[in-house]
Amino acid sequence: MKVALAQCNYIVGDITGNSKLILEYVEKAATGGSDLVIFSELAICGYPPLDLLERGSFVESCIEGIHEIAANISAETGVIVGGPEFNSNEEGKLLFNSAWFLLNGKVQQTVRKSLLPTYDIFDEYRYFEPNRQFDILEFRGNKIALTICEDLWDDQPAENRFSRSRLYTRHPLEEMMKFNPDFVVNIAASPFAAGRMEIKKQIFSKKATKHHLPVLMVNQVGANTELIFEGGSLAVAADGSIYKQLALFEEDFAILDTEELIADGAGTKEGEAAEGSGTGERLGAGKSDITDENGYKEKVAGQTTVRATDNRIALINDGLALGVRDYFSKSGFRKATLGLSGGIDSAVTLAIAVQALGNKHLHVLLMPSQYSSDHSISDSEKMARNLQVSYDIIPIRDIFDLYRKALQPVFGDRQEDIAEENIQSRIRGTLLMGLSNKLGHILLNTSNKSETAVGYGTLYGDMAGGLSVLGDVYKVDVYALANYINRDREIIPQNIIDKPPSAELRPDQKDADSLPEYEILDSILELYIGKQWPEEQIAREGFEPDLVKKVIRMVNMSEYKRYQTPPILRISSKAFGVGRRIPIVGRY
């Protein structure tokens, strides 16, 4: 049977637009002679629709859209599309997360999701009732085990759950095997995390090998608010080899013959390109040597160092660019601004923004103070010229002096300290928001994950913005991104990369005055935030116990700040935001 994989970029809630997109790909599949075309999880409404699912009119519109799609497809082509379904039972949640099978102008069958994740950014049991009755989809003489995303992740390790070795007790594909299916279909909305693609391949390859069945997985692509979906849809042969992988970070489409996937020794038709056959040539061929999803390798000299492989960093770069692009295009915004300080974070943010939006849609501000070095200004100007981005210079010294004068009766003779440093940052934030309000440019936040973690930022100052581009990128990886951006030519002036990082809010200030070296800090942060290790276990990795205690205290004390950050583009499996829920007030 000829099957089409349709990897599409949906807009959450745009049922009319999503339906049109789906019908375009159905027509493309029919023209190519496909018997069946597969779309991703909740495709009709885009993923994640969140509390829109609590509105009956929204769900009704989704279902009407699915029926309209069915009425407009050719009689010969079967369609599998994800969408919500009302639960007609008197008990349980009001909805199912379903795969709808369309043929001959109407809905023929629905298959419901069994495993509803409630970890990290997922909260599906808030809305959906889990499926408990298993069946098979029969079409053109083929028996299809139709599953939805998490249904094939049933045997994943249960991380940070103490003694439990597996997360789920129910195994949907095992239940379906009694029907003797010919191949497996998985429709997914699985978000991007650096290094995660290899884990996904392993999961689907393991399922194919265990049951000696081909597995076809169609994933959503595109970004919706902070979540980035990389696509990378897969066709896995019955022997577990990767037969086909669709592009990363862009829409893609492929027609496959399932007979070619069933025979033993099908082999890897296209080779295991670097996490995505669609972009493998651009990113560099060859299997990644990433050892886990966060890019960690073996301990060196008592420290866990952060890996910065070219392929991993390239994927982060492309993922962030997609995140910025879709945030703007799907929200109806066109132009952006940021404060270009002469530091590495604002430089990398600007480069990614230009990649996403084009240099004509950026206008930045340089806002030097009496503490800014001459090269910070000249480096910023050079970078703006390199990218042909328009900019203005607004010195803040006089404004700062006015604030000092106004506050002198309150501050009295107290020595200047962090209060005056924060005032400078808030002046810059005010100027940037003024530009945003007057010209309609959305402010991009430039804070990185390392500084956000330990509270090294100013509320309503450098933490302001409509979207945080680097808020899930550790400082070590920010430097790796800078080097990747400069791989062909100097976009970011080398002096920005080479000089010691500094907020430049007081004379001769350096980040190292307040923070440990970033390679050490980032390693501790990843173990505490990403792995959720306790203090004692982190210290046993070779870190100074007092330093570990200090870093953890800084993280815990800064929780209130992170509750007020803009949406943070997610490129790891434990980002700040909706996937990490820690009380502000507490003593643990």
Which positions are annotated as active-site residues?
41, 113, 149
In angstroms, rounded to a whole number, what is the distance separating the alpha carbons of residues 421 and 432? 17
In angstroms, rounded to a whole number, what is the distance separating the alpha carbons of residues 128 and 132? 12
DSSP symbol at 529: I
What is the DSSP secondary-structure string of 185-226?
A: EEEE-----TTHHHHHHHHHHHHHHHHT--EEEEE-EEEETT
- Look at the block and give the residue holding tokens 């769900």: 59
Sequence-ordered list of residues with C-beta below 8 angstroms from that of 15, at least 6 positions apart, any chain: 44, 45, 61, 62, 64, 65
DSSP symbol at 572: S
The three-class DSSP label of residue 562 is helix
Assess contact for 65 and 170: CB atoms under 8 A. Answer: no
Closest CA to 2 of 30, 32, 34: 34
In angstroms, rounded to a whole number, what is the distance separating the alpha carbons of residues 517 and 500? 11
Q: Locate 202 and state its tokens.
A: 């392993």
The three-class DSSP label of residue 291 is coil
Assess contact for 254 and 277: CB atoms under 8 A. Answer: no
β-strand partners of 306: 296
In angstroms, rounded to a whole number, what is the distance separating the alpha carbons of residues 370 and 335? 30
- Look at the block and give the residue holding tokens 């379903």: 98
Three-point CA angle 392, 394, 395, nearest 5°: 145
Assess contact for 318 and 481: CB atoms under 8 A. Answer: no
Assess contact for 447 and 470: CB atoms under 8 A. Answer: yes
Q: Locate 253 and state its tokens.
A: 């489409």
The three-class DSSP label of residue 527 is helix
Closest CA to 235 of 456, 464, 259, 512: 259
In angstroms, rounded to a whole number, what is the distance separating the alpha carbons of residues 330 and 454? 32
Closest CA to 171 of 152, 199, 190: 152
What is the maximal distance between C-alpha atoms in the chain?
87
Strand order in the sheet with 215-219: 137-139, 142-148, 183-188, 215-219, 234-236, 242-245
Assess contact for 170 and 204: CB atoms under 8 A. Answer: no
In angstroms, rounded to a whole number, what is the distance separating the alpha carbons of residues 370 and 376? 12
Q: Locate 338 and state its tokens.
A: 């940021």
Assess contact for 559 and 583: CB atoms under 8 A. Answer: yes
